[in-house]
Chain A
């Protein structure tokens, strides 16, 4: 790729018997925001540590700005890293933390210049007036901003974020997400963001890369990933689909909801029928309808800001979720312990199977 600022080429990393990264190849363009999504142990953090130079890959190459940096020590790479626990320097003030790289890095700046630049960065992340506080004297969200300001002060072309929002509460997380996006638009930095939260990955990334057991199992835009998950595993990690087991045969899927014609299916190691939470429809038990039908008992509902999530328990066991976007009108209310009929338009389903082309 011509515009690639950064490239991984067949990177493999083992810890004893554990294969943390397995032949990972990836190109990232200038000013791109890439989210890495995957369960814990999928190799996300290892990937970032290899890119940062904290770990050396066993095989494979890492390229950055046209150079092979596979064996370059971390401090010569010019790649920023924001840690999950922020890793602020506990014996230094906010100002000293932010100015640390400027003062003691490869090209140390004069003290006045360090102060000016760090004050600028501190102001940018909205911490003006807190310069002389110790880092144990500020809140979690403020610490996160110090970590970010400290990294951005060095004006790196590539910043790695290792679940930096994980340690914050939901409210703060949302605000920090917006700030990160704004910063990126202002400074033109390429971000690689590891996250365990599918919402964060889909919301933040221009591109989402799904990792599992050290391999990239899908890579694409948020919409691509969401609309066409490449495998049952991806659909599972996205946490936006009800997944049903069953058998796919002769263009028909037989599951607990009956037998449904399948217009097209994706090839996968097992037969899985996936329906988005927001594609589910709830009907009274008495209604008769064609297509897939699932008798289920309403359990509870939960508000998620812009939508409401309804939980149903299926007769054969298992929970089915139904999401109602509030923008589509007021939500219906369902009676607890009452049985309903769940259905959906089969065209909206995504089907995986061994039989698929």
Chain B
């Protein structure tokens, strides 16, 4: 090689070629579909057909319908409740697994035990709540046998409650994992030092442990939010069509070929998602927590 060719800086394109396939894939199959939803939400819908003539008809229909607006509020309500229940159920568990259990093996074993249920199909896990919560379900049978109740509780299944119970069970592990991970990273010496200074557990918890575990809580909350907001199967299977989330509306609209209306609901859902995720990401920089 002559001096002339060697002395010219070679442009290093490796980074670009490594990233390009992934970027193209995400642009085509993630970003474009979402833009497509926005686009189609302004299309004209006739009974069995759809045309690209722009109209606000579907949007007007959404905001003038109590059913649709109602489903928006239901979605937000269920989301907030499940966020709270998964946190209440998950945080103490994470505290035990991530911080209180001294043996690393036991802590790993406990985490694996938490993950095992995921090896059953999601839909079958949802369905399993039916014989659990029903009038003649396992919970009622046990409660009757123990003598806590005389009459079977009927509100357990095919209500909003059953949807919340089902979602809590299915999604709480996504809360436990990230929190336990952050708790396990806390330097035990800090806690020891605080205890030497005479701080009680309550004080140590609120001043040290909880703030340090907060990124885990936020990551867990993002996971749970993403999944609950997009849900429709759990509410479909456990509420007996009484709970209609935005996801359920999309499914029924698509089922009756109302693509424009489904798209409007899709846009609403995207906006809600965007606000929620952006809000959480303000608290925690996801990239730095890795």
Contacts and interface: CB of A to CB of B under 8 A. Distances in A.
State yes or no: do A and B touch (Cβ within 8 Å). Answer: yes
Interface of A: 56, 61, 67-73
A67 B5 CA distance: 11
A197 to B, nearest CB: 34
Nearest to A63: B3
A61 B7 contact: yes
A67 B1 CA distance: 8
**Which label, helix, strand, loop or mixed, suits the secondary structure of the A interface?**
loop
B9 interface: yes
Contacts of A67: 1, 3, 6
Nearest to B9: A71
19 contacts: A56-B9, A61-B7, A67-B1, A67-B3, A67-B6, A68-B3, A68-B6, A68-B7, A69-B6, A70-B6, A70-B7, A71-B6, A71-B7, A71-B8, A71-B9, A71-B10, A72-B1, A72-B6, A73-B10
Contacts of B3: 67-68
Nearest to B4: A68
B4 to A, nearest CB: 9
Q: Interface residue tally of chain B, by bracket?
A: under 10
Interface of B: 1, 3, 6-10
Contacts of A72: 1, 6
A61 B7 CA distance: 8
Contacts of A61: 7
B11 to A, nearest CB: 10
B158 to A, nearest CB: 57
Contacts of B10: 71, 73
A308 to B, nearest CB: 43
A61 B4 CA distance: 13
Contacts of A73: 10
Contacts of B1: 67, 72
A70 B8 CA distance: 8
A166 to B, nearest CB: 29
A203 to B, nearest CB: 36
A56 B7 CA distance: 12
Tell which of A56, A61, A67, A68 has the most Cβ of chain B within 10 Å.
A68
Contacts of B9: 56, 71
B14 to A, nearest CB: 11
A72 B5 CA distance: 9
A61 B8 CA distance: 11
Contacts of A68: 3, 6-7
A61 to B, nearest CB: 7
A82 to B, nearest CB: 25
Given A68-B3, A71-B8, 17 more contacts: A56-B9, A61-B7, A67-B1, A67-B3, A67-B6, A68-B6, A68-B7, A69-B6, A70-B6, A70-B7, A71-B6, A71-B7, A71-B9, A71-B10, A72-B1, A72-B6, A73-B10
A61 B9 CA distance: 11
A169 B135 CA distance: 76
A345 to B, nearest CB: 54
Nearest to B3: A68
